[in-house]
Structure 1
Amino acid sequence: MDTIAPLLATLAAYLIGSLSFAVIVSRAFGLADPRTYGSGNPGATNVLRSGSKAAAIATLLLDAFKGWLPVMLVKWLGGPYGLGEGTQALAGVAAFVGHLYPVFFGFKGGKGVATAAGVLLAFQPWLGLATLASFAIIVFFFRYVSLASMIAALFAPAYYLIADGIGWQASGAKALAMVAMALLLIWRHRENISRLLAGKESKLGSKKNA
C-alpha cells in the first residue's frame, strides 16, 4: 500500500491534467479547435484569439483548477494512506505534465501556465498569489505574456524558499517540483524565447493573424 497509493495518486493527477480544456471548452462553445489557428497552442491565450472572452476565461479557470484539484485531494484524503508533502509534489508535477502531454489528446498539449498556477495555489495560497502578482506586474509593464510566464515560474521556488519559517515550512519535495515545472515551462516556451530575442513576439492586445 505504501508504494501503490502514491503511484495511484500520481497517475490520477496525470489523467486529470490530461483534460485539455482549451479543446473541450471550444467544442462546448461551438468554436474552432484552438490547435488549428493562431499559435496552435491549446491554452487560454490562444482561445482568446477566437474572439470569445467567455471561452478564454473558462479555459483559464478550468486549466488552473485541474492543477489545484489533485494536490488538494492528496491533502484532504491522503492522510490515512500515508500520503504527505512528497505525494502532493508528485501530484502537482503529474497534473502539469498531463497538461503538456495529454494522453487523451495525442500528447499534444499547452504550455502549462494556468495549470502551474493552480498547483502553486494548492501548494500554498500566498505563494500562488505572490507568483500571480509577479506575472501581472511583468505583463502590465512589458505586455509579453510569455516573458511574464517564464519569469514568474522562476520566481516561484525562490519565493517559496525565502518565506521558509516566516509564512510556511518549506518542503524540499515541493521546491524541487516547482523547479521542475519552471524548467519544463521554459522549455515549452522555447519558440517564444526565439521570437522575443528577434523582437517578433506578439504583445498582449496586439492582433495576430491566424
Structure 2
Amino acid sequence: MNLPLVLGLLAAAYLIGSIPTALWVGRRFFGIDIREHGSGNSGATNTFRVLGKKPGSAVMAFDVFKGWAATSLASVMVSQGAIRPDQLLYFQLACGVLAVLGHIFPIYAGFRGGKGVATVLGMMLAIAPGTVGICLLIFLLVLFISRYVSLSSMTAGVAFALLQLLPPFRPDNSLLLVFGFVLAGLLIYTHRANIGRLRAGTESRVPLFGRK
C-alpha cells in the first residue's frame, strides 16, 4: 500500500466534500448566509426552500457531484497501485463517508454545513449506479407528488436498502448491504425534526413550479 498517496486522497475526499456550495451560492448571488434562513442548514433542501428551484437544483447537482468525485478517488488509488483491486469498495466507502462528513462539517465554513443527503447520493452513485438510478427515480416521483425534499430523501434511502435484498440488486460484498441499512437509519435519524414537521403539517414544500 502506498500510504502517503492513500492518506492524501482521503484528505482530498474530505476537502471536496467540504465545498460549501449552498453557502457560496447564497453569498455570491443573493447576498445572504443561507444558514441564517429557513431551516438553518447549508444544503440543497434549504436552498430550494429559501432561494428557489434554480439555485436549489444547481446546489443539489454540485453536491451530488462532490460525493461522486470524492468516492471516485478510490479508483485512482487502484490505478496508481496504492491499494489492491479487492480493497476498492472499502476505500470507496471511506472516501465517500469523508466527503459526507466534509459536507456536514465543512472546514471552509466554520464546520457548519448541511445534512449531506445529496453528497450521499453522489457517493452511492459511484458505487452502485444501477440501484441508485432506480432510487433517484423514486426520489423524483415522491418529490413531484409531495414537493417535500425530506420525505423524498428518506424514501429513496430506505428504497436503496430494500432493493439490495432483491437478487438483481444484491451486492457481491455484504458490507454494502449492511451499509445501505445503516445509511437508511441515519437518514431517518437526521431527518427526525422534518418527520415531526411532516406529522404536524408544517414542513415546507419546495417551489417546483414557482418563479424562483
Q: TM-score, normalized by length of structure 1? A: 0.83
- 1:9: Cα distance to partner? 3.5
- 1:100: Cα distance to partner? 1.7
Q: Which residue identity is paired with 2:158?
A: L
Whole-Å Cα distance in 1 between the matches of residues 148 and 52 of structure 2?
A: 20
Q: Cα gap change, 1:25/1:139 in structure 2, threshold over 3 Å: closer, same or farther?
A: same
Q: Which residue identity is paired with 1:183?
A: G
Q: Which residue identity is paired with 2:82?
A: Y
- 1:139: Cα distance to partner? 2.1
Whole-Å Cα distance in 2 between the matches of residues 104 and 20 of structure 1?
A: 7
1:167-207 Cα offsets, whole Å, 9 max, x none, are: 6743233333333333332222121011122222223339x
Share of identical aligned residues, percent?
38
- 1:119: Cα distance to partner? 1.0
Q: Show structure 2 runs of 5+ residues with no match.
A: none
Task: Select the residue among 109, 112, 116 that pairs with 2:113.
Answer: 109
Whole-Å Cα distance in 2 between the matches of residues 47 and 4 of structure 1?
A: 37
Quote the RMSD (CA, aligned, Å): 2.4
Q: Cα gap change, 1:205/1:53 in structure 2, threshold over 3 Å: closer, same or farther?
A: closer
Task: Select the residue among 169, 172, 175 that pairs with 1:173.
Answer: 175
Task: Select the residue among 124, 131, 134 that pairs with 2:128.
Answer: 124
- 1:52: Cα distance to partner? 5.2
Q: Cα gap change, 1:5/1:157 in structure 2, threshold over 3 Å: closer, same or farther?
A: farther
Whole-Å Cα distance in 2 between the matches of residues 50 and 31 of structure 1?
A: 13
Whole-Å Cα distance in 2 between the matches of residues 77 and 3 of structure 1?
A: 10
- 1:150: Cα distance to partner? 0.9
1:33-80 Cα offsets, whole Å, 9 max, x none, are: 110111211112322344454432221111001100011121244241
Task: Select the residue among 154, 169, 185 that pairs with 1:150.
Answer: 154
Q: TM-score, normalized by length of structure 2? A: 0.83
Task: Select the residue among 101, 104, 109 that pairs with 1:100.
Answer: 104
Aligned-partner SS, 1:81: coil
Question: Is the aligned partner of 1:43 residue 2:47?
Answer: no
Q: Cα gap change, 1:126/1:31 in structure 2, threshold over 3 Å: closer, same or farther?
A: farther
